[in-house]
């Protein structure tokens, strides 16, 4: 009995790892599609999510109506929240309004792909370090090139040298601050990736308990439902946190307060 539990334990672990990592096949309810060439599971998710977002904002949003109803109203609530609570407080009025489309792109992209991971046949593309690293590189690019564009190259370098510090120490502090910039962007990527990955692994592992121990582990299903709701909340929260931290970091470099 212990041996066969250990066996199913290893099989369950393999099942979990196979389902949360990227692979060349897509398991739909009754069929398992083999994906050709460079396409992988997460790539298909990216295409589908992109289509969903473009359809949502392009087709389903009524641009001409003076008073928004229904879905248009919901989208406008989110966009106004991003503009008034995230972009303008961190970047000031002019820059905030100009950069709101970027933050809307971040927020809806991350939200859409996080939520897609909670559907039965899909997986979340943000559970892949490549996708989140790409988003963090976009933020890093905006920080570096935007900072150089706004403050000039010399002003950008002066952001990393704090005031009132003796000159020999500046040679140590400057590179440390610059490395801090890169580490903060990497932290953005890893935070989002690890949250999504860990959430899915926890859900799979709890259901794997039922596979291993039989009907005795049925309360685990109730716990799984609870964690599923927590996952939904974390999807929204992580999208908000990524967007907010991007805005704060960019604001620190565009308008250095020293």
Partner 1 sequence: MGSITAGLAALGAGLVTIGAGIGIGRLAASAMEGIARQPEATPKIQVNMLIAAALIEGIALFAAVICFMAK
Q: Give residues in contact with partner 1 (CB under 8 A).
A: 9-10, 13, 187, 190-191, 193-195, 197-198, 237-238, 240-241, 244
CB of 204 to partner 1, least distance (A): 14
Q: CA dist 95 to 88, 91, 129, Å?
A: 8, 6, 30
**Alpha-carbon separation of residue 113 from 7, 22, 33 (angstroms):** 34, 15, 21
Nearest-Å Rg of the Cα atoms of the chain is 22
Which H or E element spans position 135?
A: helix 129-158
- Cβ at position 59, least distance to partner 1 in Å: 33
Q: Are 196 and 127 in contact, with CB atoms under 8 Å apart? A: yes
Q: Tell me how far, at minimum, the Cβ of 194 lies from partner 1, in Å.
A: 3
Of the pair 75, 241, the CB lying nearest partner 1 is at 241
Q: How far is the CB of 86 from partner 1 (least distance, A)?
A: 11
Closer residue to partner 1 in complex, CB, 144/194: 194
Instruction: List the structure tokens of 38.
Output: 């460079």
Smaller CB separation from partner 1, 28 or 179: 179
Cβ 147 to partner 1 shortest distance, Å: 22
Nearest residue (CB) to partner 1, 123 versus 195: 195
Least Å from the CB of residue 67 to partner 1: 27
For partner 1, give the closer residue by CB, 54 or 183: 183
Question: Residue 25's beta-bridge partner residues?
Answer: 34
Query: How far is it, in rounded angstroms, from Cα 10 to Cα 105?
Result: 40
DSSP assignment of 169-212:
HHHHHHHHHHHHHHHHHHHHHHHHHHHHHHHHHHHHHHHHHHHH
Nearer to partner 1 by C-beta: 13 or 72?
Answer: 13
């Amino acid at each position: 009995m212990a041996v066969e539990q250990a066996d199913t334990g290893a099989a369950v672990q393999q099942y979990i790892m196979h389902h949360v990592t990227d692979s060349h096949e897509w398991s739909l309810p009754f069929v398992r599609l083999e994906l050709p060439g460079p396409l992988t599971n997460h790539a298909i998710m990216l295409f589908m999510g992109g289509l969903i977002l473009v359809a949502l904002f392009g087709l389903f949003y009524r641009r001409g109506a003076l008073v928004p109803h229904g879905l248009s109203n919901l989208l406008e609530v989110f966009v106004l929240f991003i503009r008034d609570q995230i972009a303008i407080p961190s970047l000031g009025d002019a820059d905030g309004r100009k950069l709101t489309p970027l933050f809307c792109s971040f927020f809806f992209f991350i939200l859409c792909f996080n939520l897609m991971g909670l559907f039965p046949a899909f997986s979340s593309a943000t559970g892949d370090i490549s996708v989140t690293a790409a988003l963090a590189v976009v933020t890093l690019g905006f920080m570096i090139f935007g900072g150089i564009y706004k403050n000039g190259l010399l002003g950008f370098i002066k952001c990393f040298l704090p005031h009132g510090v003796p000159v020999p120490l500046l040679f140590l502090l400057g590179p440390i601050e610059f490395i801090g910039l890169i580490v903060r962007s990497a932290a953005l990527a890893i935070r989002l990736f690890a949250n999504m990955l860990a959430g899915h692994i926890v859900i799979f592992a709890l259901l794997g308990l039922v596979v291993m121990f039989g009907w005795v582990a049925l309360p685990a299903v109730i716990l799984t439902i609870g964690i599923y709701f927590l996952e939904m909340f974390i999807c929204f929260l992580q999208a908000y946190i990524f967007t907010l931290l991007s805005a704060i970091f960019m604001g620190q470099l565009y308008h250095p307060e020293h």
